[in-house]
Structure 1
Amino acid sequence: MLGRFFRDRSGNFGVMTALMLVPVIGVAGFAIDISNALIVRSTLQAAADAAAIAAVAETSAGVMQAMQMKSDGQLSAAIEDAKKVFIGHAKMSEEYELKNFDVDVVKTGTQVKAIFTFDATVPTSLARILGQSDVTVGGRAEAVFQTDTFRDFYLLLDNTPSMGVGATPADVTKMVDNTRDKCAFACHIVKDGVEDKNSYYYLAKRLGVTIRIDVVAKATAALMETAKSSRKSSNQYRMAVYTFGEKAEDTKLLQVASLTDNLDQVKASASGIGLMSIPYQGYDNDQQTDFDRALKNIGELMGTAGTGSSAGNPEKILFFVSDGVGDAYKPSSCTKKTTNGRCQEPIDTTQCEALKSKGYRIAVLYTTYLPLPTNDWYNKWISPFQSQIPTRMQSCASPGLFFEVSPSQGITEAMNALFLKIVATPRLAS
């Protein structure tokens, strides 16, 4: 009987099964625990993704903070927001223990970058048989937002006597029909501080004639609303407005509005832009349109051109509005014939090139110089180079930033279109 017992093999399967049962259950349990851990990781990863995206969302506190900063650095507002979003999405429970989570949101140039990391432990059940009490899971989420370019705009508006011409052919005709010398220009005469109410400037007002500078002033004011609606933060665009001068006796640049991000203030100031006055007809041989001087002087005011990467490093844009005909004393450098040194010519682009070489971008709005076929002065001096005026104005502009507006078009719409074209172009490379 004892011999038969030792020779009997019928119970081997049961013994082996008993011996194998522990590791089999452990491995199966470990697979189940790993599956649970992956579910937890997926939940936490989704929360981290949401937190990183929220930190750099276009309307987030972090991006608003970044747009206000003048230099690079960490964004505390974005970090706090990201942590709150993560906790809200993580669905904390007893199924896991969150060991650590961290977020860093930094502005570098025009880039806002959020990096979120986390790790957690998930308790095991059946895998404990194998001595595995928990499973560690972790993850990382990254999101980037590209902030818009910061720009300073310097508007240089030609308000010299030639901008007193009627704004439309109908306005020109009305002036010609109601002046004894068939003049289309509403000359603004002010002598010793006293307005000449009999000047053509006031005649135009009585006739209801709109002159070119009035339309430019209205368009400049309206442009501020376009800029306000286009900016992502209150300090993204700053504006300054200058004209060629208040009076012909002192033709230095007139500051209409100093550089500021208070565009409502600029709008109010621009609404009052007026035509340069002269003390009497033919004063200084009508040499009030000195483009060379005006462009040189505005360049001295604009400061160093930046890349647009921050409020402290803005791009510099010269927004130049004119009819393109110079009239100044240039006895030796004029490109056309002169009379006693008086130079009437299309704009000389030498100063434009000097400004562009400094890194400034020049946007040119050319208000088409209206032909005046009934005017002897026009026929003799301007008509011969009429076709060259737009070509020279376009040469003054930076590539792609030229716009011509004819009398039948709206200057307001043209200024807005040119501005939107500027802000839609990529920023300068650093």
Structure 2
Amino acid sequence: MKKLLADRAGNFAILGAIAIVPILGSAGMAVDISRAMELKSRLQDAADAAVLGSIAERSAGVTQAVGMTMDGHVSISEAEAEAFFKAQAATNASSVQEEGLKKEKVESQDMNLDVVKVSVTKDGKDIKAKLTYQATLKTSFLRILGKESITISGSANAVFQSQSFMDFYLLLDNTPSMGVASTTADIDKMIKATKNVADSGSRNCAFACHIVSEKGVIDGGSNYAVAKLNGISIRIDAVAKAVVELTKEATRQQSYPDQFRMATYTFGETAMDTKLLKVAGLSGDLSKVQKTAEGIKLMSIPKQGYNNDQQTDFDNALSKIGDEIGTPGNGLAAATPEKIVFFVSDGVGDSYKPKGCTAKLSGSRCQEPIDTKNCTALKARGIKIAVLYTTYLPLPTNDWYNSWIKPFQPTIGTKMQECASPGFYFEVPPSQNLEGAMKTLFNKVVHTPRLTS
């Protein structure tokens, strides 16, 4: 017996056998916790999508159902949101199978979705949705340590401000490049109409830009005159009409006087005096804004190549419009309106900018996709930016385009989207209706719910 107790042979095997349990447990803990975190992320994404989808789809129905007069619980949308969450959870978690819509468990081999609760309430001018969930994930390796499952829980909240007060500052690019024919059909008409003009540089041209001899006087031989004589709509004409329709849409949708106020700005009447030009000051009288919008015209230019064609200064326009805008509010009252810049442009700057140009300089002339630093500065103040990008058309037969614009053509839309606040970007090519696009973007701004936590 003394020899047996004194014998140390085989100790490593014994210690190894004893240690294998915590070693496997530790390794298993990392694996199972990683699985739990991944599942948590997927379930949270499903919850966020469910509350946003519920409010976005049903906000109009909720408004009608409760008459917007009484606060409290709203039953509409809850079953839909719960079903949507479970469907999303099933897709995201891949192993989840839906077996019921309301109180039944959604079970799979590894996960039980135990609790899903959805509530929709009206609180003042807000419609709020909240979804909470709880799930259990069966462990793999942690069972060695006696841990059979991990509990995962979370919540998502969204709010729809049904009666927000908003001030819109419309910044409309009326510089020469906005003289392009406004639709595909108009482009074809313009090309045919300019086929035999004396100026070879204007032949087969889809543009009516660089064409007005001086303020208020149209050069009879210009492409602008060709467009007008042939009933061809150019982009700035379409923008003006779209603003008119926008004011009508805002008037139709507002519930209170001055709920939506608007101001309109362009880049100036003439190339000889480029500046942020206030066409209409901020006003709740949308009929007044509508009337002034009807008079918006393409910027005039005294001659071809005037001032090296440097008429599109986005940096100046965005900086100056920022000076026009006061402190943004939460939109809950007329005294605290949200502030939105509604920016319409083809996205290519062309200005005197010897320093800081984001593209290749031609002397001191900077042609570049929009430099978003001024957009960032506005958004940092709490000002939202809605961007309607009228697609900049490639001109493959134009040597200047090929040398200076073509290298950054693929980034024009990307930069315009970067300028916009999340979700407030819309691109409209010539084949689409600009008026419809502007109303679509307006409705997106007015009716977009947001996650609150």
- Other-structure match for 2:163: 148
- Other-structure match for 2:349: 326
Q: Write the mapping of 1:68-147 to structure 2, written as runs, cut at 5 A.
A: 110=125
Taking every aligned residue pair, what percent have the same amino acid on both sides?
60
Q: Equivalents in 2 of 1:192, 1:348: separation in Å?
A: 29
Amino acid at match of 1:381: W
Q: Quick one: which of 206, 209, 229 aligns to 1:184?
A: 206
- Other-structure match for 2:106: none
Summarize the Cα distance change of 1:195–1:316 in structure 2 as closer, same or farther, 3 Å threshold: same
- Other-structure match for 1:231: 254
- Other-structure match for 1:69: none
Displacement of 1:307 in angstroms is: 1.1
Q: Equivalents in 1 of 2:187, 2:216: separation in Å?
A: 28
Q: Equivalents in 2 of 1:146, 1:356: separation in Å?
A: 20
Amino acid at match of 2:166: R
Displacement of 1:57 in angstroms is: 5.0
- Other-structure match for 2:172: 157
SS in 2 for 1:249: helix
Q: Quick one: which of 213, 227, 235 aligns to 2:236?
A: 213
Displacement of 1:247 in angstroms is: 0.6
Displacement of 1:374 in angstroms is: 2.4
Q: Quick one: which of 423, 428, 439 aligns to 1:405?
A: 428
- Other-structure match for 1:251: 274
Q: Write the mapping of 1:261-276 to structure 2, written as runs, cut at 5 A.
A: 261-276=284-299
Q: Write the mapping of 1:216-365 to structure 2, written as runs, cut at 5 A.
A: 216-365=239-388
Amino acid at match of 2:368: E
- Other-structure match for 1:167: 182
Bigger radius of gyration: 1
SS in 1 for 2:187: helix
**Could you tell me whether the CA contact under 8 Å between 2:215 and 2:301 is conserved in 1?**
no
Q: Equivalents in 1 of 2:386, 2:418: separation in Å?
A: 11
Q: Equivalents in 2 of 1:247, 1:273: separation in Å?
A: 12
Q: Quick one: which of 401, 404, 409 aligns to 1:381?
A: 404
**Could you tell me whether the CA contact under 8 Å between 1:308 and 1:428 is conserved in 2?**
no
1:175-218 per-position Cα deviation (integer Å, ceiling 9, x unaligned): 33414323332134133654323222111111222111111110
1:125-163 per-position Cα deviation (integer Å, ceiling 9, x unaligned): xxxxxxxxxxxxxxxxxxxx9761100000000000000
TM-score, length-scaled by structure 1: 0.65
1:248-269 per-position Cα deviation (integer Å, ceiling 9, x unaligned): 1111112221111111111111
Amino acid at match of 2:213: V
Q: Equivalents in 2 of 1:175, 1:147: separation in Å?
A: 44
Q: Equivalents in 1 of 2:380, 2:419: separation in Å?
A: 12
Displacement of 1:306 in angstroms is: 1.0
TM-score, length-scaled by structure 2: 0.62
**Could you tell me whether the CA contact under 8 Å between 1:151 and 1:237 is conserved in 2?**
yes
Amino acid at match of 2:376: E
Displacement of 1:111 in angstroms is: 7.2
SS in 1 for 2:272: coil
Summarize the Cα distance change of 1:424–1:207 in structure 2 as closer, same or farther, 3 Å threshold: same
- Other-structure match for 1:390: 413
Q: Equivalents in 2 of 1:355, 1:311: separation in Å?
A: 21
Summarize the Cα distance change of 1:411–1:427 in structure 2 as closer, same or farther, 3 Å threshold: same
Q: Equivalents in 2 of 1:146, 1:336: separation in Å?
A: 41
- Other-structure match for 1:9: none
Amino acid at match of 2:369: P
- Other-structure match for 2:4: none
Query: Over the residues paired in the alignment, what is the CA RMSD in angstroms?
Result: 2.3
Displacement of 1:398 in angstroms is: 0.2
Unaligned runs of 5+ in 1: 1-55, 61-107, 113-144
**Could you tell me whether the CA contact under 8 Å between 2:218 and 2:225 is conserved in 1?**
no
Displacement of 1:282 in angstroms is: 0.4
SS in 1 for 2:239: helix
Displacement of 1:278 in angstroms is: 0.6
**Could you tell me whether the CA contact under 8 Å between 1:346 and 1:389 is conserved in 2?**
yes
**Aligned structure 1 segments of 4 or more residues deviating by more than 6 angstroms:** none
Q: Equivalents in 1 of 2:395, 2:126: separation in Å?
A: 53
